[in-house]
Amino acid sequence: MKLSKRRILGYGIAVACSALIVTPSLAAGRTIAGIVFQQDQFFRTIQLGMQAAAKAAGAQLFEANSESKAEKEASLIDTFIARKVDAIVISPLSATASAPALKRAADAGIKIVTYNSAVNGDFPVAYLNSSQRDLGNTTGKAAAAFIKEKLAGKAKIATLGFKSQLPEISGDRVDGFLDEAKKGGDVKIVSQQDAWLAEKAVAVTADILTANPDVNIIYAANEGGTVGAVQAIRNAGLAGKVFVFGIDGTEQLANFLMDSDNVLQGVTAQQPFVMGKSAVEVALAALDGKPVEKTIIVPVIGLNRADKPGVEKFLADLKSTK
């Protein structure tokens, strides 16, 4: 799907554009359906942002979780069509499979705003996301520096992605990481697996460590994979020998960066609170007939064990959103 414009959002703010300021008197009585597809800290923080925007505008927010099930997602959308909500704010499960139900909603006069993942078609009024390639590149640059400085320019890397769930997003995050990490020196890729939930990632990482005893870096393309990789390395007693780089910024991952075990080295954080808040604000602005950008890119934030003040600031900012 080709989208027209981009707007860059600053760290810690919502949509910095007068066209997106929602007047409470106009928004009062509006109903917004906010749909996530799993319950991890990333999506919980998305929901906090949605709640903040709806509360500030006096709009009613209905929250729902498709649990990564296409049939449940379609059912939720049809339910919200029947309830005649004014807007649906959603991270679609599939660019293609999610399109028919969302198109039905749009045809019923409901404003559609997608975030985190896109849907095919020009009917959504806006799409908000981080640059998936930037997420991978930023963590990859940190890994390249680590390989040069700590591993004498040699690394054997295994990756954990979610290709079977969201192939394009997973591909951008993994390929972006590897493109940069390879600049660290003699880098070999020994295994590439799918594991995006923490429990599964523990098992998959354990298998990787057994099959590849010389692996020294695990890269995980999302929060669950990163958490699971760290736990598996700790379980195997390989702290200080195998190192993790990942994606997503949560309180747990930030605390991992502060831990003395030296396992997690760097992650790149999205700004889920900003994304959720902005998505609802965009939906309300569109309902009020105000112009909105078709594509809104929320900048990413690199967090590194070597920069503890930066991690501490991130934690403080994260706690301020609760």
Q: How far apart are CA 290 and CA 137, in angstroms?
A: 35
Q: How far apart are CA 151 and CA 241, in angstroms?
A: 10
Strand order across the beta sheet in which 126-129 lies: 6-8, 295-297, 126-129, 111-115, 87-90, 31-36, 60-65
Residue with tokens 């919502």: 14
Mean pLDDT of 111-120: 95
C-alpha distances (whole Å) from 300 to each of 32, 133, 248 are 26, 10, 9
- The pLDDT tens digits for 256-285 are 999 999 999 999 999 999 999 999 999 999
Q: What pLDDT, on the 0 to 100 scale, is given for residue 322? A: 65
**Residue type, position 262, single letter:** N
**Residue type, position 274, single letter:** V
C-alpha distances (whole Å) from 49 to each of 55, 151, 174, 275 are 10, 40, 27, 7
pTM of the model: 0.75
Query: What domains does the chain contain, in order, with CATH numbers?
Result: 6-130+271-299 (3.40.50.2300), 132-269 (3.40.50.2300)
Q: Residue 171 is encoded by which pair of tokens?
A: 């591909």
- The pLDDT tens digits for 210-248 are 999 999 999 999 999 999 999 999 999 999 999 999 999
Mean pLDDT of 3-16: 36
Q: Which of 85, 99, 103 is nearest to 280 (CA)?
A: 85
Q: Among 22-31, 53-62, 186-195, where is mean pLDDT lowest?
A: 22-31
Is the predicted pLDDT of residue 27 greater than 80, yes or no?
no
Q: 251 burial class (0-12, 13-18, 19+ CB within 10 angstroms)?
A: middle
Is the predicted pLDDT of residue 23 greater than 70, yes or no?
no
Q: Which value, to the nearest 10 degrees, does the dihedral of the CA atoms of residues 269, 272, 275, 279 take?
A: 160
Is the predicted pLDDT of residue 26 greater than 60, yes or no?
no
- The pLDDT tens digits for 73-103 are 999 999 999 999 999 999 999 999 999 999 9
Strand order across the beta sheet in which 186-194 lies: 186-194, 154-161, 217-220, 243-247, 264-269, 301-304
Q: What pLDDT, on the 0 to 100 scale, is given for residue 212? A: 98
Is the predicted pLDDT of residue 19 greater than 80, yes or no?
no
Q: How far apart are CA 266 and CA 105, in angstroms?
A: 40
